[in-house]
Structures are given as structure tokens and as C-alpha cells.
Structure 1
Amino acid sequence: MLRGSGVTTLQYTALTVLERRGGISAAQLARDSFVTPQAMADMLRALEQRELISRSPNPASRRELLVHLTEEGRRLLAEYTDAHAAIEELMLSGLSRAERAHLRSSLDGAWRALRPPR
């Protein structure tokens, strides 16, 4: 799906996280995207060079930068919305509505289990 975009699957995942939860730290984005902080630092540099994200100081912590999706990043995600939905539909096509709901619930539970305690 992303072959012509110049964006990797991991970068796309990070962009979708930012679409849902913009204004988060790089550390939180790394956790939510299931990559190491070092991998996220490299990824953010690449995304920032392409102007898909921006970073700004956190008003609550001067040393921390918050990551935001730019309009260019939003445009890129919008360009792949239909293809993303088609892949998801194909993946779920053999499941009933109840099975889809159960899968979504199970994945949400697994994701919450991986999150560090606050």
C-alpha cells in the first residue's frame, strides 16, 4: 500500500498514532508505536525532514518536545485512507460481526497489557 509514498510501515503507524493522539512526547510515541526510543528518534528525524511532523516545546516541561502531525502529514494519511480501509476489510472479511468485535476487544486488551503502568 505504501510503496509509492516514501513512508515505511513503521512511519505510517507512528503518523496514525499522532493523528489520534497528537502533541505527545517521542517516548510516548515510541511506546504507542511499539518501537525503541532510538528507532523513534531516527524515524522522527526522517518524518520531520519530510515535513510530515513538527516538534514544539512542552509547556509543562521545557526539556521535552511534543510531536505533532503537520498538514502535510494529514494529507499523506488522507491519501491512503481508502487503501488502508480496504486492507483492513480484506483482513476481516472472513469474520462475523461478533468475531470482529471480539478480535477488536482482544487486541485492545493486549495493547493495554503492553502499556507501562502510569
Structure 2
Amino acid sequence: MKKDPTPFEPARENLGVLLGLVRSEIVRAMEAELLAMGVELRFTQFLILKRLARLGPMSASELARAVELDGGAMTRQLDQLERKGYLRRSPHEQDRRALRIELTEAGTALWLQMTDCNTRVLEAAQRSLNEVEREHLHDYLDRVLSALRDKS
């Protein structure tokens, strides 16, 4: 049986809170790194550029699913990134009604700059772990994600 912590023992955060705190700290560190580079992007905008760089052109709805945004929020983010010159909306090759979102040359160049920033933040987040612990952490998180996505 699990006992309640005494007033002198700090309570251990549950998994959901802990994962949320880790994500918040990664977002904070990433935005600070970007700002230090002179790049004024929010973390969500960084994720949008990252997905486009890694997966190539896609529809706005595909991109929204990839970064877990609703349609309205995605439109606002795309408008901002398009105004900054990092992406463009182009007609879809097979469907005249649809648009494809793709990186511009400036967006690709920015992504290449930000890759090192992303690596530094994730490296710092894991600095207290050795290589085996890093592999275990990745494996554990993969398994937790799979369990959450398993509908059976």
C-alpha cells in the first residue's frame, strides 16, 4: 500500500503532470534558443516548419493533424509563417480545390539553422542520462504512446 508523503517529503508528480512539465520546459528552452538566434518564432511555428522539412509538402489539414492543431489555429499560424516568407500555399497537382503547404527557400534555410538549436535543447534535456538510459527512456515513452493509441 502506498503511503501519503509526510509534510517533509516532497510528493512525486504523477506521469501526466511530469510529461506536461517536461514538454513545457522543452518549449521554453526551444523558444529561448530561437530568440537568442534572432528568430522570432513560437514553438508551434517551429513544429510546423519541422514537419514540412521532414515530411515535405502537404495539405493544411494533414499538417494540422501532424502538429495537433485545429483548423482555425493552423490557418492563423500559416498566415503568420507565410507573411514571414517561410512557407507558401501552392495549388495541389491533382485537386484544383486543394492547396499544398510547402517551405520556401527562406523556410528551408531557417530550418537548417534551427536544426542545431533543436539538437542542443534535446541534448541538454538528456544530459543527466547515459546512452543506455536514453535508449530506455525513448523505449518507455514509445511504449506509453503505443498503449495510449491502442484502441483495443
Q: TM-score range by the shorter chain?
A: 0.7 to 0.9
- C-alpha distance after superposition, 1:32-77 (max 9, x if no partner): 1121111110110111111100111112222111111111011112
For the 8 Å contact 1:2–1:9, the answer to whether it is kept is no
- RCO comparison, higher one (Cα < 8 Å, 6+): 1
Q: Provide TM-score, normalisation by structure 2.
A: 0.66
Identity %: 34
For the 8 Å contact 2:34–2:117, the answer to whether it is kept is no
- Give, in whole Å, the separation in 2 of the partners of 1:52 and 1:29: 15
More strand by share: 1
Structure label with greater radius of gyration = 2
- Give, in whole Å, the separation in 2 of the partners of 1:108 and 1:41: 30
Q: Provide TM-score, normalisation by structure 1.
A: 0.83
- Give, in whole Å, the separation in 1 of the partners of 2:50 and 2:101: 12
Summarize the Cα distance change of 1:32–1:108 in structure 2 as closer, same or farther, 3 Å threshold: farther
- Name the residue aligned to 1:18: 52
Are 2:142 and 1:86 aligned?
A: no
After the TM superposition, list the runs of 4 or more consecutive aligned residues in structure 1 that deviate by more than 6 angstroms: none
Q: Which of 42, 50, 73 is the matching residue for 1:39? A: 73
1:25 shift after superposition:
0.6
1:108 shift after superposition:
4.8
1:10 shift after superposition:
0.6
2:80 counterpart letter in structure 1:
A
- Name the residue aligned to 1:28: 62
1:2 counterpart letter in structure 2:
L
CA RMSD of aligned residues (A): 2.1
5+ residue gaps, structure 2 = 1-32
Are 2:86 and 1:52 aligned?
A: yes
